[in-house]
């Protein structure tokens, strides 16, 4: 259901970017329930205009956008989510703040050493 969920999310983003995050958060918390019906119910529950949503989803209007994002992620070496890039360095998977801090502090130390 990843592709339909991504397309539905983009349909919502086009309609109301603020609702995109709410929709995405609900889908992530309920991955085992994903179906077209579940996503439509979530969309309705959060206040999405359903005629536009349904037309967008049923027409596969966002398929190329989602496919292009997927191809670009693959080209960048991303093969799992979440993947974060900090100045080109990948941090793969859910990471605690401390791991980001280590990477950033290391990069800052390198910059300071170069400047000396």
Q: How many CB atoms neighbour CB 8 within 10 A?
A: 26
pTM of the model: 0.74
What's the pLDDT at 14?
A: 96
β-pair partners for 86: 89
Three-class SS of 57-96: HHCCCCHHHHHHHHHHHHHCCCCCCCEEEECCEEEECCCC
Q: What is the pLDDT of residues 37-90, one digit of tens each?
A: 999 999 999 999 999 999 999 999 999 999 999 999 899 889 888 899 998 888
Min mean pLDDT across 34-38, 73-77, 101-105 is at 73-77
What mean pLDDT is reported for the chain? 94
């Amino acid at each position: 259901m990843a592709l339909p969920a991504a397309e539905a999310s983009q349909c919502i983003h086009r309609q109301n970017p603020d609702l995109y995050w709410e929709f995405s958060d609900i889908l992530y918390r309920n991955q085992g329930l994903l179906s077209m019906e579940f996503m439509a119910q979530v969309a309705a529950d959060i206040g999405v205009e359903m005629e536009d949503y349904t037309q967008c989803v049923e027409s596969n209007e966002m398929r190329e956008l989602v496919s292009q994002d997927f191809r670009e992620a693959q080209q960048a070496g991303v093969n799992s989510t979440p993947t974060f890039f900090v100045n080109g360095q990948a941090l793969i998977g859910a990471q605690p703040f401390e791991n980001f801090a280590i990477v950033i502090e290391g990069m800052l130390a390198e910059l300071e050493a170069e400047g000396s």
